[in-house]
Amino acid sequence: MLPRLTTSLIALLAASAFSISAMAQDPGDWLIRVGLTQVATDTDSGDLSVGGSVLEGAQIKVGNDAQPTINVSYMLTRHIAIEALAALPFSHSIKGDGILEGAGKLGSTKHLPPTVSVQYHLRPNAPLRPYLGIGLNYTNFFSSSGTEALDAALGGPSSLSIRDSFGLALQVGADFAINDWLFFNLDLRYVQIEADARITTQTADGEVGSRIKADIDPLVFSAGIGFRF
């Protein structure tokens, strides 16, 4: 659905960009963008450590998700803005990979990705206004849980938790003016996210702790509509 929507938006914006009179973004302006955002993960998993022993090739992969998002930019100058991104919680499945690939879904988690960035707007007076951004992402993982497949793999009932993560966020995007206060927006980000998962398993011999780290580092693509105040 998102690629089809994106293709339609690009076609509409390309057709209209040359016929719209330029409206300048001025210091003190607020730009509010709402839309749909796809988080496409690029998982680079370490090996699972069980009770201090590393199981080589026992890895995980994290699934994708799409949710509504909102971001707000405040123009400090015509070119420089501060932006904050917020979203509804993203939900991700956690599946086995490597020698665990046949285990299927091992767990799930949710996350919130508040991100604050500094943006540079290249053409603030033009109908097509591209921008670049760099910022800091804070990923809050919550509602993490394991499955029966995880219990079976580790030999007993298992609880799962994932530590929160801080990372760099890089951004490129563009606003396409419709009129003085309304515009389309397309936005792409690369975000550094590390999932440091801790698992506690109740076995016949007592409690066993396990740990696995994975760099998720998703590409985050948004398409939506914006308002200038």
Q: What is residue 130's three-state secondary structure?
A: strand
- 109, 216 contact by CB (below 8 A): no
Q: Which two tokens stand for residue 153?
A: 């793999």
Parallel, antiparallel, or unpaired for β 182-191 and 165-177? antiparallel
CA–CA distance, 106 with 195 (Å, rounded to integer): 14
Phi, psi dihedrals of residue 94, rounded to the nearest 5°: -120, 115
Q: Which two tokens stand for residue 107?
A: 């767990």
56: domain CATH number is 2.40.160.20
Contact 176, 184 (CB under 8 A): yes
The pLDDT value given to residue 24? 72
Which domain covers residue 202, as residue numbers? 2-228
DSSP 8-class letter at 22: P
> What is the pLDDT, as a whole number, of residue 23?
60
Q: What's the total number of domains in the chain?
A: 1
Helix, strand, or coil (residue 47): coil
The amino acid present at 19, given as its one-letter code, is S
Secondary structure (3-state) at 60: strand
> How far is it, in rounded angstroms, from Cα 212 to Cα 44?
11
Gap between the Cα atoms of 30 and 227, Å rounded? 8
Q: How many CB atoms lie within 10 A of CB 84?
A: 14
Question: What are the mean pLDDT values of the chain's consecutive 10-residue runs (229 residues total)?
Answer: 49 45 79 98 96 94 98 97 97 96 95 97 94 98 96 94 97 95 97 96 92 97 97
pTM (2 d.p.): 0.85
- Torsion from C-alpha of 3, 5, 175, 65, nearest 10 degrees: -50
> Do 26 and 210 contact (CB within 8 A), yes or no?
no
What pLDDT, on a 0 to 100 scale, did the predictor assign at position 38?
98
